[in-house]
Amino acid sequence: MRLRRRTADQPVVVCGSGSRRLGAAICAELGVQPAVAETVHFSEGTIFVRLLENVRGRDVYVVQSTIYPANDNVVELLFWLDACRRASAASVTAVVPYFSYGKGDKKDEPRVSIRARVIADA
């Protein structure tokens, strides 16, 4: 498998399956191609992601909204962030245009999870 080369000053934009159209629009505005990457959804409900180009030492932006199905898209985002870090990206920035757990940002009753904090900390 041959890895795509980019110039050193070009950002790498990974488009998650929850934001492919937005990611493509961002890439068009920046004048770059979306990262060559794949997302596989297995029949038992698990997700697999893989970068198909070298991001070592690069600034990477992962565009992934957490729209329906929110849990799948959140997990996919976490996997993309992890894959980019493990591929030795210089920096990894999550671009999350819609954060589905944003309303769960405070503890408004006893013995509940602060959902937004849990996801942000992950």
Domain-located, residue 16: yes
This prediction's pTM: 0.88
| CATH assignment of the domain containing 64 | 3.40.50.2020
Look up residue 103 and give its two tokens: 């309303």
Judge contact between 55 and 13, C-beta under 8 A: no
Burial class of residue 104 in the structure, from the number of CB atoms within 10 Å of its CB (0-12 exposed, 13-18 middle, 19+ buried): middle
Domain-located, residue 2: no
Going by C-alpha positions, the residue among 52, 116, 118 that lies closest to residue 87 is: 52
Q: What is the pLDDT of residues 102-116, one digit of tens each?
A: 887 888 889 989 888
Look up residue 10 and give its two tokens: 């070009």
Domain-located, residue 22: yes
Domain-located, residue 113: yes
| Number of domains comprising the chain | 1
Residue 111 is part of which domain span? 12-121
pLDDT profile of the chain (122 residues), mean per 10: 65 96 96 96 96 96 96 96 98 95 84 89 86
Judge contact between 74 and 101, C-beta under 8 A: yes
